[in-house]
Chains A and B, each alone.
Chain A
């Protein structure tokens, strides 16, 4: 047996160590940020913080929470994530079912699938899209954050590949019992698609929570920014103008610890849902993507 040889054992130990180091490197930056956010301002500004807080303090979090603009942006992000995910799920679920049928069972399928694929491979580009949003009167509206991303061909393909794996007999039995397609979809397919739905929900939630560019592009007013856009302007652009300037808030932005706290709060929801949904998405992904 190869794994009993001495050479392989040495390799195995080194290999495992190397991979563990690699895995740790994927989360070290986050640990560092967490440590900075819980450190005292002086220690953080002097770059003394490594992976453990220096002079433990929750001052940064207090200051962050005190900022009403920040809190409001969280609220907008929560709304957008919940509504956006629900809408994406509904649309994906509804669209994937007819598209998963055979050409013989659903004549229009070919045309529809071409339309979907076409939007996947070709688009008008950023500027025409921007103008359409303007013309539709969606500038500065909450809906601009939710509607344009609601149809995602990639997610529809994941879902329809899952539907194709469902035994045909289930559907036939339901139809014979007199259920129509809507009934079949919601009473038969829905309960057995939960792993796929979890996968799509995870992708959609992550998408909405992380989206920042639409907020930057379509919102003229910073108090309509979702959290990710707020963080982008404050942390990346270090833009004071997106906050009403007063000396107290100026100080807020300039602090390393407060920035770290904001970053961590921005990442927290993902860190929280990730462990629960992780086991699903690996399954869902490979089911949907690598099927023949």
Chain B
């Protein structure tokens, strides 16, 4: 009681946040019971029939849902790898630009796409990547046949990953640049006296110094392995590429909101949240262990 009196101001400060958390985070968690029901909107949760694990059985029996899980994993893992590798290389190359003004300008330009939404970029890309669009015109100058980037199952994933890396690599570079700025300059001086050229310095000083950051970013990304990017896919895909491009989140939207299979949609959502939670907890533990990173 005494501590409550002493700290009441702290509790008051947390009230607005807690009210919203309860309303929009904790109460929806209660709705998870729908995953075990044959939910009918007019009967509500209290009146809908309980069906046990039927929704989950259905999830693993349906061919399209297994395909969707598989698509999600492939797209997310490839995004994870390239969103780690490209910024890593880019940061090292950018570090070699010795004119500060040039370096700053490059940085300003590459961060920008991160702040534009997939609606805007989707609108742009739908035109740029169409068969008679700007990109195919340029490729045509080199004698390449028009490619249907967003309507061809063989190209869709490639396009999704490439455009995502294009949008995010600049932004993802920030943490690496911060780590680069933290490297002790005397290491380079010592290496220079020992006669190491720039490549050797990069190989034996810069790269190893960045490894802890790679570990942190990489392990934290692990928790996102079932997030293949709803906004992007939703704004770029079409029925032609459902086979290779449909992911869990877009599938939930179509089955539950559009087709009204609410119980089934909740079950997929729960499946995703539960696996994600385990992955996130594991990845935070790993990040803490390997790189001393804590979130709180």
Chain A contact residues, CB within 8 Å of chain B? 1-3, 5, 7-8, 11-12, 15-16, 18-20, 22-27, 29-30, 32-33, 36, 47, 50, 90-91, 94-95, 97-99, 101, 106-108, 112-113, 115-117, 119-132, 136, 147-148, 150-151, 156-157, 160, 180-182, 185, 206, 209-213, 217, 228, 231-232, 235-236, 256, 259-260, 262-263, 266-267, 270-271, 274-275, 278, 282, 285-286, 289-290, 292
Residues of chain B within 8 A (CB-CB) of A235 are 119, 122-123, 126
Q: Are B31 and A132 in contact (CB under 8 A)?
A: yes
Stretch at the interface among B59-67, B73-81, B152-160, B261-269: B261-269
Judge whether B192 is part of the interface by a CB distance below 8 angstroms.
yes
What would be 26 A-B contacts, judged by CB atoms less than 8 Å apart? Answer: A5-B197, A8-B198, A19-B106, A24-B109, A26-B109, A94-B16, A95-B13, A108-B7, A108-B10, A115-B21, A116-B21, A117-B295, A124-B25, A125-B252, A125-B270, A126-B265, A127-B262, A127-B265, A128-B29, A136-B23, A150-B20, A211-B117, A231-B123, A270-B115, A290-B178, A292-B293
**Nearest residue in A to B182 (C-beta to C-beta)?**
A290
Judge whether B222 is part of the interface by a CB distance below 8 angstroms.
no
A60 and B267 CA atoms in complex are apart in Å by: 46
Q: Nearest chain A CB to B94's CB is how many angstroms away?
A: 6
Q: Are A19 and B94 in contact (CB under 8 A)?
A: yes
**Nearest residue in B to A263 (C-beta to C-beta)?**
B123
Q: Are B198 and A25 in contact (CB under 8 A)?
A: no
Q: Nearest chain B CB to A40's CB is how many angstroms away?
A: 17
Q: Are A119 and B26 in contact (CB under 8 A)?
A: yes
Judge whether B14 is part of the interface by a CB distance below 8 angstroms.
yes
Q: Nearest chain A CB to B15's CB is how many angstroms away?
A: 9
Indicate which residue in B7, B97, B175 contacts A289 across the interface (CB closer than 8 Å).
Answer: B175
Q: Nearest chain B CB to A219's CB is how many angstroms away?
A: 13
Q: Are B16 and A278 in contact (CB under 8 A)?
A: no
A210 and B110 CA atoms in complex are apart in Å by: 19
Residues of chain B within 8 A (CB-CB) of A262 are 123
3 smallest beta-carbon distances between A and B, as pairs: A128-B31, A125-B269, A124-B28
Q: Are A278 and B111 in contact (CB under 8 A)?
A: yes
Judge whether B134 is part of the interface by a CB distance below 8 angstroms.
yes
Bitwise interface map of B from 156 to 171 toward A, beta carbon under 8 Å scored 1, else 0: 0000000000100010
Q: Are B124 and A30 in contact (CB under 8 A)?
A: yes
Q: A91-B20, A232-B235, A235-B119 are in contact. Are A131 and B31 (CB under 8 A)?
A: yes
> Which residue of B25, B27, B112, B270 has the most chain A CB atoms within 10 A of its CB atom?
B25
**Nearest residue in B to A235 (C-beta to C-beta)?**
B123
Q: Nearest chain B CB to A121's CB is how many angstroms away?
A: 4
Judge whether B218 is part of the interface by a CB distance below 8 angstroms.
no
Q: Nearest chain A CB to B237's CB is how many angstroms away?
A: 10
Q: A15-B96, A25-B166, A119-B25 are in contact. Are A181 and B13 (CB under 8 A)?
A: yes
Indicate which residue in A24, A231, A282 contacts B119 across the interface (CB closer than 8 Å).
Answer: A231
Where chain B touches its partner, the secondary structure class is: helix
**Nearest residue in A to B25 (C-beta to C-beta)?**
A119
Q: Are B9 and A266 in contact (CB under 8 A)?
A: no
Q: Nearest chain A CB to B8's CB is how many angstroms away?
A: 9
Q: Are A132 and B272 in contact (CB under 8 A)?
A: no
Q: Which of B10-54 contact A (CB under 8 A)?
A: 10-11, 13-14, 16-18, 20-21, 23-32, 34, 45
Indicate which residue in B20, B126, B230, B272 contacts A236 across the interface (CB closer than 8 Å).
Answer: B126
**B interface residues, how many (CB within 8 angstroms):** 99
A192 and B276 CA atoms in complex are apart in Å by: 37
A255 and B11 CA atoms in complex are apart in Å by: 55
Chain B contact residues, CB within 8 Å of chain A? 3, 7, 9-11, 13-14, 16-18, 20-21, 23-32, 34, 45, 90, 93-94, 96-99, 102, 105-113, 115-117, 119-128, 132-134, 137, 166, 170, 174-175, 178-179, 192, 196-198, 201, 213, 216, 223, 230-231, 234-235, 249, 252-253, 256-257, 262, 265-266, 268-270, 272-274, 276-277, 280-281, 292-296
> Which residue of B13, B24, B127, B281 has the most chain A CB atoms within 10 A of its CB atom?
B24
Q: Are B26 and A275 in contact (CB under 8 A)?
A: no
Q: Are B166 and A95 in contact (CB under 8 A)?
A: no
Q: Nearest chain A CB to B38's CB is how many angstroms away?
A: 14
Residues of chain B within 8 A (CB-CB) of A36 are 127
Q: Are A8 and B296 in contact (CB under 8 A)?
A: no
Q: Are A3 and B31 in contact (CB under 8 A)?
A: no
> Which residue of A15, A90, A123, A232 has the most chain B CB atoms within 10 A of its CB atom?
A123
**Nearest residue in B to A270 (C-beta to C-beta)?**
B115
Indicate which residue in A22, A180, A270, A278 contacts B116 across the interface (CB closer than 8 Å).
Answer: A270
Q: A147-B24, A151-B21, A290-B213 are in contact. Are A19 and B294 (CB under 8 A)?
A: no
Given contacts A99-B296, A263-B120, 5 further A-B contacts (CB under 8 A): A12-B96, A124-B29, A127-B265, A259-B123, A262-B123
Residues of chain B within 8 A (CB-CB) of A266 are 117, 119-120, 123
Q: Nearest chain A CB to B113's CB is how many angstroms away?
A: 5
Q: Are A16 and B97 in contact (CB under 8 A)?
A: yes
Residues of chain B within 8 A (CB-CB) of A217 are 257
Q: Are B273 and A106 in contact (CB under 8 A)?
A: no
